[in-house]
Structure 1
Amino acid sequence: MSLKIETYSNAKGGNSFFKALGHPLTVARAADLYARLRKAGKVAIYDPLGMAEGLQEFYPMDALDITAVYVQRVEDMGKTVLGHDVQAVTGLPQSGAGIVLVTAFDAGRLMDHIRHLVPAGVELLSLDELRLPVSMLTNPNRYLDPLNFATNFGFLRDGNGQHTRIVSCDYWSGLGAKTVPEVWYCLFDQSGKVLAQWQEAIPAAGASLIIDSREIRQRFNLGDFTASLFIHILGVARHDIVKYALDVYGDDDTVLSCTHDANAWPSDLFAGLPAPHDDETVVMWIQNSHPVPIPAHAVGINLMGSDDIRTIPTEIAPFACYALNVADLFPEVRWPQQLEVQAGRYFVRPRYEVHVKNGRSRIAHVNVERNDLVVDPNIPNLTQHLGKSYILPAPIMPVAQWQSVMQPNPMSTAQTDLPIAAIFYDATGVEVARHKFGRLQRSDSVAVDMNAMLAAQNAMLPSGSGHVELVYDFSDGGGGDGWLHGLFRYTQRSSGHIAETSFGGHIFNTVLTYKNEPQSYAAAPPGLSTRLFLRLGDAPLDTFCHLIYAASTPWHVQSDTSLVLFNRMGEQIAQTKISIPCSGSLHWRYSEVFDAATRQRAGDGGYIIIRDLTCRLFGYHGTVNGDTAFCMDHMFGF
């Protein structure tokens, strides 16, 4: 059963209430508040905004002697809250309680409204007792302002020859932050125990934000650890989402991998978890994102399209990390089968690791599976205005060095079938082949070797690389909901090292809009410009980027793209221009675009902003260690 608290909705966005309750610093404040409530004896609850049930999920009130629950809205009469039939707040004088708890933040006005109903000697409290210090609030006048809770979880591990690094930059200064933001961190070990808490300023506007497990280990005198890192950015502007890249690197070249941020909102469902090959072990890391345990059997996995849900028999402590070996629940599954995660809103988007018997490993993430979508009857008719409409673009890496594989992933409960096709483009923007998947059923798990498929059609990529676009194809019937997803797996031919990434489709580069597409980070749709973050690997690693200029309808013939290089302190070092044909792509390396002297001036810890005011590009990034290893994932923008 899912937690009965809203974490995110596509209509309203992220829910700050659950973040306020789940903040690590709130835990001790809640314990103090509940101690006062227990000491007072009988407690009356006034729930004018409907927050009591959410509070109960994180901080159960079972040990309190609750006499009654009162509400303000007449239309709420007849409801049951906390096991009590609610009463009109005008009945508060007859409660017999020694203390009244108003289950709301910023409750001064709400408390003033009922002071005349509170008998003399009865204490009146609210959730404002749980507030973070004013110094941690971007907007102290509105506690549940999303900007007060720009938070996320990171996965941090150090030991056994493996290290991790979280990399982002201060993008809030460029969005109007009044001062350079600071960051508050809380590091929980695998059991949920606090290893360290600290706060530090980002050193300059636009500077890199880097948390390296080796440095943290040394700073706090830690041994080997596997940990969940809570990140809270203080003093943000416009954007309350904390985005980053997570790198895994090792003491030898068998360990090199990267993945995306955790996505800050726990979900009911995730999907796109791959089954292992015979020589692989797949481990999904569950990071309990709340101050309450995940009950035994509350979380599980199932084969996509199957009702056979197998659950984790172990309770997972608050803020703890749990390593779920897929084979413990499904020993019989094998790639290309894929699994669905029954998450119950207990944790943020989980990462999974694939360990190969040859000693190599890789990390990637599953994606949020939507349960609020229905089949949209308008999508098959969008072609007359929006051409290909929804597109999921992914690289075909340089064929001489890499093998490329794709797998469609059902990513919403509405997707009982997937009527899709794949269009293959050379880097020059010329279509070279098509592949019809037909009307895939939800339980189908199909992986296509893109290089082999092109060879079977006698199709060539004259440029040596290109990209594929997954699109809807309703020629065999079926329906769509606009939430196309796929997993893309790449193998370095020289080493056998593998990386994989997954993402979803959007409408690209058309002035016409449909619902919230083409999506925009900064304003209402259409989003017709690009601002992507490219973190740079430190020597001896080189950095590569695969930019794709997908277009639902014909757009500008060429992109007008700038690559702006910054050093670790956010100072611009250099800028250069590139051009990508419409429906084309460009695979490039840092070492090829910026000369050695410029790279030396940028130094370690620098980054590139990919900017284009003429079109929306989609990008994938990674680092490469010669012919021995590489990593890869999709990029993020802001």
Structure 2
Amino acid sequence: MALPIQTFSNQSGGFSYFKALGHPLAVTGGAAILKKIRTARRAAVYDPLGQLTAFSALHGLRTDDFTDCFVRDTFLLNEQTLGHDHRPVTELAHADIDVLFMPVFDAGLLLDQISGLLPAGCVTVTLDEMRIPGRLLTNKRNYLDKLNFATNFAFFRDEAGKHSRLVTANYWGGYGAKGTFLWCRLFAGSGDVLLDFEVPLQHANQTVVIDSRQLRAEHGLSDFCGQLFISVVNGAGHDIVKYVIDTGGGEEEVSCTHDANAWPADLYAGLPAPMADEKVLLWVQNSHPVPIAASEIGLNLMGDNNIAWLDEEIAPFASCAVDVSSLLPNARWPQQLEIQAGKWFVRPRYEIIKAGRSRINHPNVERNDLQHDENIRRLTAHLGKGFILPAPILPPDEFVSECLPTPMSTAQTSLPIITVAYDADGNEIAREALGNLPRNHTRQVDLTALAANIPAGGGHVELQYDLDANGVMDGWLHALFRYTDKRSGHGADTSFGAHLFNHIMTFRSEPQSYKGPPPGLSTRLFLRLMPAPARVFCHLTYAVCSQWHAYSSTILELKNAAGEDVSRTAFSIPANGSRLFFADEMFNATDLQQAGDNGYILVRDSTCRLFGYHGVRQNSGFALDHMFGF
């Protein structure tokens, strides 16, 4: 069963309560609260906000730790929590207890309300006793403010010649934040704490780089493979910690992947089964301060209800590499897997090992709150192409580009999909209707073959709903895109979902933007630079639902590590077209040297929303994933 915690709402965003309970610095306080409850003669609980179950899940409160559960909501009086019948809080005065536990933060007002009901000599215990240090709070007046828990986890390792480099920008400073810094904790694979450290953010929009090799050198660390917890203090504008992780094993092996989704989910999907000559590892990294019991995490073939459960306990904040073939030995690409995650971890990484090389990508959140929406079909006349999922078709003389549509909600019993290929100038060159794919399909699309007539510079593909096929349309269309470098055989995976792009009519929250309500069409994408011999490249798509500006008005702003402008250049992309460029083709060597290895390029366009992928070529190494914006 999934952890009984609320992590995210698609209407209101992420919840802070579970983050406050599970913050690494709150663990000691949580244990002290449990000790007070368990050493009491008789303890009871007053649960005014319905949060007892979540506290129990993350800190191990047991049914026999207390005698009564009091509530204030009359509609809850016929229910139970942790096996205890609910009692009205008005009966509290007659309770034979010496400790009353309230699982709430900022408990002052709630304590005042029941002060006249407390039995003589009764001591109250609240979650305010497990608050993290005040200097780590952005809003000290409201403990559960989302900005107090702008946190995330990152897969992070430095072992056997493999290293990690996390890069982001101080975009909080761009929203006026002052005195911002990162508080970080590095966990070993065992879940033990290796290191606490802070990263000051002195300049708005400066680059933030955390390199595993530098941490090892500065702190004398031995090999590690675990996770990095990141908390933004004194932020503004965003409670989401976005980053790119570059992982590698020398100049011949590179891999890059997008940030983790900071809110643990019940399900993830889009995990590829291995090819015959591959090993696929799913990195399960516990995001909570309690162990994951055996048989809590499972894998199944997409569309198959037979789940293979991991028969292994995973310690708090620990990491476990699960060989997919150990659970599903007969699974083979292009089959895809569903991850039964139970809200135990943020969006995980998977690692593909082939011919001595490895590459890393992430599955995506599989939503369980959607259903078929006939409005998508009914409103087609107003939505143009409707939902679009764009991805690169890389230059066909150098790369093989492939696509595997991935069911990404429990509602998607079938996928009605059409693929449309465009050259860089926005001309449609091919299309193929895939029909109404079943949930357990293995229909892999060779995009290079589909777009056989595409010019040497490549173009892009758009996955769209096929309105002539009777399938499920819920607006959550996803796919996994796989690219193979013909020169070296090295590959890269990336996956994402569909949106409405560049359309004046709105449909619920679409077209999305990085700031403001829909349509809010603008672009602000982060393209990090890297030390030589890496060559950073970018693929931008100007997808258009029906009709928008004939050309984009795109500006590349080259910045140094302090976020200061070094140079800029402008170009335009035709509607329905794309642009593939290397950083060293857009800026001269002098400007790039001034920007430095830790500089970046900000892709700006105030006239449209571009969708971007960033990549790296390094000797025979190659990597690619989608970009983040802010």
User: TM-score range with shorter-chain normalisation?
Assistant: over 0.9
Distance 1:369 1:489 in 2: 20
SS in 2 for 1:248: strand
Change (3 A) 1:65 1:420: closer
Q: CA deviation at 1:130?
A: 1.2
Distance 2:450 2:358 in 1: 27
Counterpart of 1:235?
234
Q: Does structure 2 conserve the Cα–Cα contact (< 8 Å) formed by 1:517 and 1:527? A: no
1:382 and 2:379 correspond: yes
Q: Does structure 1 conserve the Cα–Cα contact (< 8 Å) formed by 2:168 and 2:243? A: yes
Distance 2:307 2:38 in 1: 40
1:188 and 2:187 correspond: yes
SS in 1 for 2:68: strand
Which of 555, 558, 573 does residue 565 from structure 1 map onto?
558
Q: Does structure 1 conserve the Cα–Cα contact (< 8 Å) formed by 2:514 and 2:522? A: no
Which of 290, 299, 302 does residue 301 from structure 1 map onto?
299
Distance 2:11 2:78 in 1: 27
Distance 2:143 2:106 in 1: 7
Deviations 1:29-69 (A, max 9, x none): 11112222233321121100001111010112228641211
Q: Does structure 1 conserve the Cα–Cα contact (< 8 Å) formed by 2:60 and 2:290? A: no
Which of 441, 446, 452 does residue 444 from structure 1 map onto?
441
Counterpart of 1:269?
267
Distance 2:227 2:471 in 1: 42
Q: Aligned AA for 2:610? A: L
Q: Aligned AA for 2:168? A: S
1:631 and 2:623 correspond: yes
Counterpart of 2:450?
453
Distance 2:88 2:26 in 1: 30
Distance 1:68 1:249 in 2: 54
Alignment of 1:79-228 (within 5 A): 79-177=79-177, 179-228=178-227
Q: CA deviation at 1:225?
A: 0.7
Aligned residues: 630
Distance 1:347 1:65 in 2: 27
Which of 378, 389, 393 does residue 390 from structure 2 map onto?
393
SS in 1 for 2:613: strand
Q: Does structure 2 conserve the Cα–Cα contact (< 8 Å) formed by 1:180 and 1:204? A: no
Q: Does structure 2 conserve the Cα–Cα contact (< 8 Å) formed by 1:41 and 1:65? A: no
SS in 1 for 2:247: strand
TM-score of the aligned structures, taking structure 2 as reference length: 0.99
SS in 1 for 2:2: coil
Distance 2:289 2:475 in 1: 35
Counterpart of 1:53?
53
Distance 1:530 1:517 in 2: 15
Distance 1:18 1:630 in 2: 38
Distance 1:288 1:125 in 2: 28
Q: Does structure 2 conserve the Cα–Cα contact (< 8 Å) formed by 1:67 and 1:95? A: no
Q: Aligned AA for 1:212? A: D
SS in 1 for 2:194: strand
Alignment of 1:337-416 (within 5 A): 337-356=335-354, 358-416=355-413
Which of 480, 492, 500 does residue 499 from structure 1 map onto?
492
Distance 2:300 2:64 in 1: 38
Which of 282, 285, 289 does residue 283 from structure 2 map onto?
285
Q: Aligned AA for 1:297? A: S
Q: Aligned AA for 1:119? A: P
Distance 1:134 1:610 in 2: 37
Alignment of 1:566-585 (within 5 A): 566-585=559-578
Q: Does structure 2 conserve the Cα–Cα contact (< 8 Å) formed by 1:530 and 1:611? A: yes
Distance 1:476 1:504 in 2: 20
Q: CA deviation at 1:511?
A: 1.1
Distance 2:449 2:427 in 1: 19
Counterpart of 1:312?
310
Q: Aligned AA for 1:394? A: A
Q: CA deviation at 1:476?
A: 2.7
1:555 and 2:548 correspond: yes
Q: Aligned AA for 2:135? A: S
Alignment of 1:63-78 (within 5 A): 65-78=65-78
Q: Does structure 2 conserve the Cα–Cα contact (< 8 Å) formed by 1:38 and 1:64? A: no
Q: Does structure 1 conserve the Cα–Cα contact (< 8 Å) formed by 2:421 and 2:429? A: yes
Distance 1:188 1:360 in 2: 25
Distance 1:238 1:584 in 2: 32
Counterpart of 1:482?
475
Q: CA deviation at 1:416?
A: 0.4
Distance 1:44 1:363 in 2: 48
Q: Does structure 2 conserve the Cα–Cα contact (< 8 Å) formed by 1:428 and 1:463? A: no
Q: CA deviation at 1:453?
A: 2.4
Distance 1:479 1:212 in 2: 44
Q: CA deviation at 1:518?
A: 0.5
Q: Does structure 2 conserve the Cα–Cα contact (< 8 Å) formed by 1:43 and 1:64? A: no
Q: Does structure 1 conserve the Cα–Cα contact (< 8 Å) formed by 2:353 and 2:359? A: yes
Q: CA deviation at 1:569?
A: 1.4
Stretches of structure 2 lacking an aligned partner (at least 5 in a row): none
Q: Does structure 2 conserve the Cα–Cα contact (< 8 Å) formed by 1:37 and 1:64? A: no
Q: CA deviation at 1:492?
A: 1.0
SS in 1 for 2:451: helix
Which of 611, 614, 619 does residue 618 from structure 1 map onto?
611
Answer with 417-426 or 193-202: which moved more.
Answer: 193-202
SS in 2 for 1:284: strand
Distance 1:41 1:59 in 2: 21
SS in 1 for 2:408: coil
Q: Does structure 1 conserve the Cα–Cα contact (< 8 Å) formed by 2:377 and 2:467? A: yes
Q: CA deviation at 1:12?
A: 2.3
SS in 1 for 2:227: strand
Q: CA deviation at 1:536?
A: 1.0
Stretches of structure 1 lacking an aligned partner (at least 5 in a row): none
Deviations 1:154-205 (A, max 9, x none): 111111111111110100010121x141111111111111111122312422
Distance 2:341 2:35 in 1: 32
Q: CA deviation at 1:463?
A: 5.5
Cα RMSD between the aligned structures? 1.1
Structure 1 residue runs of 4+, over 4 Å off? none
Q: Does structure 2 conserve the Cα–Cα contact (< 8 Å) formed by 1:185 and 1:232? A: yes
Change (3 A) 1:65 1:447: closer
Q: CA deviation at 1:119?
A: 2.2
SS in 1 for 2:67: strand
Distance 2:134 2:215 in 1: 27
Counterpart of 1:435?
432
Counterpart of 2:461?
468
Q: Does structure 2 conserve the Cα–Cα contact (< 8 Å) formed by 1:421 and 1:472? A: yes
Q: Aligned AA for 2:283? A: W
Distance 1:63 1:5 in 2: 18
Distance 1:152 1:606 in 2: 23
Counterpart of 1:322?
320
Counterpart of 1:39?
39
SS in 2 for 1:433: strand
SS in 1 for 2:26: helix
